[in-house]
């Protein structure tokens, strides 16, 4: 191929999820010539949907929530413990969450949302190449000076750039290869993964609003733990969209293997719990997908910058797996910082690791990394104190059921029996120790 045939731009982004799209948008807004390569038929085509926190989106595109394809705004949340034939919920909300910007919490169909965001990226001047797979990067130089200079697409085609942003998601085969090639230091621990299953179940709008007690366009986010997930590090969720429900479950891979459940088997078990099945009763399955999630937390995050390269989003391990389940917003925050670092690198004409250092500096000052750090002990805590997800909520649930059971006994007798049942099989010392650990999960 002659030099004239070579396509060279300022920046190439691998992956058209929220991380890659935010990076491409920031760089295009900053005047860089950008190509984004997405292997799916279109951005978002490989994703299903869920809860979207919009703080970064609303920074990148002011008042984006007014034009983005949002299914419902989330006006209340609920945490439900599922027992054996019992259930217990804590539901909360605020009137302010029904007013713009709706607590920055929205339910979106990723297929529509990512596609819309991709259209904003194109409007800002970036070129989207969809339906194309990046097989690996192209390198130049040796030793400490070795750098990435382009991407090799499946087939013969190659594109060149001064900087490449890797946003290839949790199953990040390209990023992993680049880490090896450019000897990028890993985290303190190996990355660990969970696997998640998501379904979109169709139900009439009026049924959803009546069943979940919602006004027009308001939505609810439910998190579930308990008996369907017993013995596993995992849980389930339901988010209401306009005329469908997003339902799914997530569990740490090693705990799934130990339990013998398949991801879909676990999800079926979750759906069959009476407190869940009545929420989706009469619904029709529209879409189903399975995905991995990086769950190693802060200690699994390695270096994210090398000569000519930055890694963002799930590929960087920036998911907050606490009750917030914040992945898309973190991916966008890291993508935005990587984009800003690329714009600054162009001004300095320095795309080396030190020329791109601004990315990790901004990340360290930002919110995503601080939040991932706050929950850095979550994987260990859940492994060392499985009672937090099973025994204790089960006991509290039983206590409430026993307390409110109406029978021919005086209340004092019922309540004493309820307390006795609650304390049975409970070690007070362990309870105290675990209460201390649980503070770190909040």
Interface contacts to ligand FAD, rule CB under 6 A: 14-20, 37-40, 46-47, 50-51, 133-134, 167-169, 174, 196, 198, 248, 250, 291, 293, 313-315, 319, 325-329, 331
Closer to ligand FAD by Cβ: residue 171 or 202: 171
Helices 328-348 + 18-29 axis angle, to 10: 30
By beta-carbon proximity to ligand FAD, the closer residue of 108 and 385 is 108
Q: Residue 415 CB, nearest distance to ligand FAD (Å)?
A: 39
* Nearest distance in Å: CB 190, ligand FAD: 19
- State in angstroms the smallest separation of the CB of 122 from ligand FAD: 16
Shorter beta-carbon distance to ligand FAD: residue 289 or 421: 289
Question: Do 301 and 316 contact (CB within 8 A), yes or no?
Answer: yes
The CB-of-131 to ligand FAD minimum distance in angstroms stands at 9
Residue closer to ligand FAD, measured from CB, 132 or 391: 132
* Distances 199 to 6, 61, 249, 271, 287 between C-alpha atoms, Å: 43, 29, 9, 11, 6
Question: Which residues on adjacent β-strands are paired with residue 243?
Answer: none
SS (H, E, C) 251-307: EEHHHHHHHCCCHHHHHHHHHHCHHHHHHHCCCEEEEEEEEEEECCCHHHCCCCEEC
Least Å distance, CB 187 to ligand FAD, is: 17
- Name the minimum Å distance from CB 423 to ligand FAD: 37
Nearer to ligand FAD, 168 or 387 (CB): 168
Q: 296 or 355: whose CB is closer to ligand FAD? A: 296
d(CA 345, CA 307): 11
Could you tell me the smallest distance in angstroms from the CB atom of residue 217 to ligand FAD?
18
For ligand FAD, which is the closer residue by CB, 59 or 415? 59
By the 8 A CB rule, do 388 and 382 touch? yes
Q: Which are the contacts of 59, defined by CB distance < 8 A and separation ≥ 6?
A: 336
d(CA 204, CA 202): 7
Q: Both tokens of residue 1? A: 């191929």
Q: Is 335 helix (H, G, I), strand (E, B) or coil?
A: helix
Nearer to ligand FAD, 17 or 30 (CB): 17
Element (H, E) at 23: helix 18-29
**CB 57 within 8 Å of CB 116:** no
In SS3 terms, 91-106 reads as EEECHHHHCCCHHHEE
CB of 322 to ligand FAD, least distance (A): 12
Residue 105 CA to residue 197 CA, distance in Å, equals 21
- Our CB check for ligand FAD shows the closer of 20 and 283 to be 20
What token pair was written down for 261? Answer: 């459940």
Q: To the nearest whole angstrom, how small is the minimum distance from the Cβ of residue 433 to ligand FAD?
A: 31
**Tokens read off for 164:** 């490449």
């Amino acid at each position: 191929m002659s030099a004239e045939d070579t396509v060279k731009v300022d920046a190439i982004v691998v992956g058209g999820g929220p991380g890659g799209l935010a990076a491409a948008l920031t760089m295009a807004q900053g005047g860089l010539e950008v190509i984004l390569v997405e292997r799916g038929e279109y951005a978002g085509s490989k994703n299903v949907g869920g809860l979207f926190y919009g703080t970064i989106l609303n920074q990148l595109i002011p008042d984006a929530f007014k034009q983005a394809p949002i299914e419902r705004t989330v006006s209340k949340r609920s945490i439900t413990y599922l027992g054996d034939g019992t259930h217990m919920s804590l539901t909360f909300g605020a009137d302010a969450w029904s007013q713009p910007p709706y607590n920055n919490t929205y339910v979106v169909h990723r297929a529509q949302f990512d596609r819309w965001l991709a259209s904003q990226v194109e409007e800002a001047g970036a070129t989207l190449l969809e339906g194309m797979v990046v097989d690996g990067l192209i390198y130049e130089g040796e030793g400490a000076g070795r750098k990435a200079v382009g991407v090799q697409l499946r087939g013969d085609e190659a594109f060149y750039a001064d900087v490449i942003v890797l946003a290839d998601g949790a199953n990040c085969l390209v990023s992993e290869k680049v880490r090896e090639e450019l000897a990028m230091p890993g985290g303190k621990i190996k990355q660990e993964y969970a696997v998640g299953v998501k379904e979109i179940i169709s139900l009439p709008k009026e049924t959803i609003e009546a069943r979940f007690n919602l006004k027009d366009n308001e939505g609810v986010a439910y998190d579930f733990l308990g008996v369907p997930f017993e013995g596993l590090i995992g849980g389930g969720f339901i988010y209401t969209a306009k005329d469908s429900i997003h339902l799914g479950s997530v569990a740490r891979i090693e705990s799934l293997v130990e339990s013998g459940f398949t991801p879909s088997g676990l999800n079926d078990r979750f759906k069959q719990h009476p407190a869940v099945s009545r929420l989706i009763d009469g619904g029709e399955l529209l879409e189903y997908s399975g995905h991995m999630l990086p769950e190693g937390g802060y200690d699994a995050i390695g270096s994210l910058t090398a000569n000519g390269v930055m890694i963002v989003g799930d590929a960087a391990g920036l998911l907050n797996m606490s009750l917030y389940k914040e992945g898309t917003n973190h991916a966008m925050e890291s993508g935005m910082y990587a984009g800003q670092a690329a714009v600054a690198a162009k001004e300095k004409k320095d795309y080396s690791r030190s020329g791109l250092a601004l990315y990790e500096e901004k990340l360290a000052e930002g919110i995503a990394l601080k939040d991932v750090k706050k929950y850095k002990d979550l994987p260990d805590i859940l492994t060392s104190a499985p009672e937090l997800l099973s025994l204790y909520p089960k006991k509290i649930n039983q206590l409430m059921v026993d307390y409110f059971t109406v029978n021919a006994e005086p209340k004092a007798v019922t309540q004493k029996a309820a307390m006795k049942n609650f304390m049975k099989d409970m070690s007070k010392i362990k309870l105290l120790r675990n209460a201390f650990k649980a503070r770190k999960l909040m």
